[in-house]
Structure 1
Amino acid sequence: MDATSGTLDEALERLHATGPEFRGFLSNHGPMAVEALVRHGQAGTVHRWLDVYTSQLEEVPSTQGALTDANWQEALGDPRRVTDWTAYMARQVAERPWRAVLAEWWPRLLPGIAGAATHPVIRVGHAVRTLLEEGEEGPRIAELAHALGYWAARHTTLPVSVRPRGTASPTTALAALPHVADQQTSVVKGLAQLPGTEGWLTAAEALRAPQDPEDAYDRLTALVAATTHRYLDYGHGEAVLLVHAATAPNAVLRTLPALPRDLWAPSLAAAWTASAALTSVYSPDEPLPAPTAGTLTPEEVFERAAAHGDAHAIKLTDTALDVAARTADGDDRALAAALRSLELITPGVD
């Protein structure tokens, strides 16, 4: 990643002058997409991409009232307070090391991982990856504050609580999940069907429980690979929302190295629950035919994603490259899943 050119920090500063949502409820994907573009050698495209993307964004929402250590609980999950939350988190990271702030707030926010269709936790994952690997410049720490503030404002608990206790691998467990009755619906209405979906909790809890923090890390790594591979076959059920079944657990995986180890197993459980829920709400019954084998390199695949322009496709490709990098000889199915997203998602900066 070229973190020395200043492109990422410039892009983040531009985006911090906009709100975290637009058109009423759509998430601002800009910070996540530009981080991925810079990381994968596409820094030269960032400002042109932003010129188009920011034209649809909205101003930072008005403040409602200052949050403090004494009153933040009353504002948890209140999207009207998002600017108050951002200011509060900005003060937190200004007064203490960002890792300490993250460790304190992660267990508070984790039960609300489903908020805004998991976009806030994904935004946190991109921010943490940069801080861990590329340096702690001011705009990057500010981005973590924005991401945590957005998560707090959109904090939404799932209507089900899952504790993995079985023996199944992520691939097997995902395949066994029953689907909700009405898949032609919103995320909120889809998730609300889970408690009444026969056999869902039993199937979700069939995932093998981790034995220790390292095992939790390995289980989460396997989950990211399984959900990425599954997109290749079933992404057509809901091309955009099923992206999150892979990118949300990958965001959690990216964050684990910055967290105390005793938070790793609960993080796996939350990430699995979110991925399982989205799979049941939107995964279709029948897979797509296997694509024709290709010979593109990871770099070429990401170049295609950057040219495609859609933020979800960029982020899924970013995750697919992570999966491929963890395999000694690459991972053709992960790269094919990324290419599938370019077919299923409408091209353009949106």
Structure 2
Amino acid sequence: MNSHDTSGTLEEALERLHAAGPERLGRLTNHAPMVVESLAARGRAGAVHRWLDLYRPRLEDFPTPVAPVTDADWAQALGDPRRAADWIAYFSRALAERPWRTVLATWWPRLLPGMYGGSTHPVIRVGHAVRALEAGENAPRLTELAHGLGYWAARHRPVSGIDPLPAAPTAAGSLDAVVPLRHPRGGFPDRLAAVRRLPRWAAGVSDPDTARARLTELVRAATHRYVTHGHGEPTMLVHAATAPNAVLRALGSLPRALWAPSLHAAWTASAAVTAMYAPAGPVAYAPSARPTPEEVLERALAHGDEHVVKLTDTALDVGDDRALAAALRAAELSEPLA
């Protein structure tokens, strides 16, 4: 179902969106660039502007610059959300001077340890931007990558102090082995800080092809798991699947030496989100019908919620009936976009 838009609609939408900031209310992510890319990639470019008009009240103006980020002092600006505009300007300059894959390969290992900031949305935005650029390179798509990388740098947040626990052989079994937080409180940053133990499922993988296969397995397992566990937190548990899928989408544009570290970071993100928002137990779920992928996408578009659209996009990558059931489940659990 990948049929990336060639009408210019995606470019028009991105140009509209690049006047807006990556967040609103100081902490909530602007999901619109990710959604419009998903719709364009899935052959629904005709719905892009209609959806964007509904989402427009959630957009805020582009943030005010503080001071330029330079090659000499970038480390001091890393992880400072006040510097989002400075980081976006830095990456805009970098992408004007060098090929985008070179910039991505340079910065991926610097940013990867901090993919957990911004509730993993920055790496997800980068994954969408990479998919768009692989389908066709032009100025608005390059600018979108600059915005994604800049947001990631501004919200860069590493995770440390994780004690390894025994893991099952499979991704699904290891997600089942994740120990939920005992007394979860607060939002994503507070819960992330409380995560101390995770199964070591990705440990020891160094071969690039094995890493890619494992990452594909993880995306499938996390998507499938949403069917029975998404009720724990219908919005946040989406990221257990969409964050590793964003990493998976970027692999082909990265040097193979970065594939195994990417698996390790993606597993930590998926497992941590699972721990942070786990429900008391699974629930049985079976859709009343078996719709086609096209029908599932239409349902997500009619629903409109940004996380529903993005999980549907990931479910279509996975492609099996249980993944499509996860997309339907997300629509049932989530509030439609008003």
Q: TM-score range by the shorter chain?
A: over 0.9
- The 5-angstrom pairing of residues 187-266 of structure 1 reads 187-195=188-196, 200-201=197-198, 204-207=199-202, 209-266=204-261
| Counterpart residue number, 2:329 | 340
* 1:206 to partner: Cα distance: 3.9
| Counterpart residue number, 2:5 | 3
Q: Would you say the 8 A contact 2:315–2:323 is kept in 1?
A: yes
Cα pair distance change 1:165/1:89, threshold 3 Å: farther
Q: Would you say the 8 A contact 1:163–1:269 is kept in 2?
A: no
State the secondary structure of the residue aligned to 1:258.
Answer: coil
| Counterpart residue number, 1:74 | 76
**% same residue:** 57
Q: Which moved more, 1:225-234 or 1:276-285?
A: 276-285
Q: Would you say the 8 A contact 1:164–1:208 is kept in 2?
A: no
Pairwise CA RMSD: 1.6
Q: Would you say the 8 A contact 1:167–1:208 is kept in 2?
A: no
Amino acid at match of 1:71: D
Q: Would you say the 8 A contact 2:167–2:174 is kept in 1?
A: no
Q: Would you say the 8 A contact 2:171–2:201 is kept in 1?
A: no
| Counterpart residue number, 2:316 | 321
| Counterpart residue number, 1:152 | 153
Query: Structure 2 unaligned runs (5+)?
Result: none
Residue 276 in structure 1 maps to residue 271 in structure 2 = yes
State the secondary structure of the residue aligned to 1:69.
Answer: coil
Q: How big is each residue's C-alpha offset from its partner over 1:104-148, in whole Å with a ceiling of 9 and x where there is no partner? A: 00000000010100000000000001111x210110011000000
* 1:194 to partner: Cα distance: 1.6
Distance 1:187 1:41 in 2: 33
* 1:152 to partner: Cα distance: 0.1
* 1:293 to partner: Cα distance: 4.8
Q: Would you say the 8 A contact 2:101–2:253 is kept in 1?
A: yes
* 1:344 to partner: Cα distance: 0.7
Amino acid at match of 2:81: P
Amino acid at match of 1:108: R
Q: Would you say the 8 A contact 1:166–1:208 is kept in 2?
A: no
Q: Would you say the 8 A contact 1:174–1:279 is kept in 2?
A: yes
Distance 1:126 1:45 in 2: 18
| Counterpart residue number, 1:116 | 118
Q: How big is each residue's C-alpha offset from its partner over 1:13-52, in whole Å with a ceiling of 9 and x where there is no partner? A: 0000101101221100011000111111221111111112
* 1:320 to partner: Cα distance: 0.2
Q: Would you say the 8 A contact 1:235–1:341 is kept in 2?
A: yes
Amino acid at match of 1:236: H
* 1:168 to partner: Cα distance: 1.8
| Counterpart residue number, 1:101 | 103
Q: Would you say the 8 A contact 1:169–1:207 is kept in 2?
A: no
* 1:160 to partner: Cα distance: 3.7
* 1:184 to partner: Cα distance: 4.4
- After TM superposition, which residue ranges in structure 1, 4 or more long, deviate above 6 angstroms? 162-165
Residue 168 in structure 1 maps to residue 169 in structure 2 = yes
Distance 1:145 1:181 in 2: 39
* 1:208 to partner: Cα distance: 6.1
Distance 1:206 1:23 in 2: 36
| Counterpart residue number, 2:301 | 306
Distance 1:236 1:155 in 2: 28
State the secondary structure of the residue aligned to 1:126.
Answer: helix
How many residue pairs were aligned?
Answer: 336
TM-score (norm: length of structure 2): 0.96
Distance 1:338 1:172 in 2: 21
Distance 1:13 1:147 in 2: 14
Residue 291 in structure 1 maps to residue 272 in structure 2 = no
Cα pair distance change 1:232/1:166, threshold 3 Å: closer
Q: Would you say the 8 A contact 2:78–2:156 is kept in 1?
A: yes
Distance 1:315 1:342 in 2: 11
Residue from 30, 33, 48 that aligns with 1:31: 33
* 1:289 to partner: Cα distance: 1.6
Amino acid at match of 1:345: S
State the secondary structure of the residue aligned to 2:315.
Answer: helix
Q: Would you say the 8 A contact 1:182–1:190 is kept in 2?
A: no
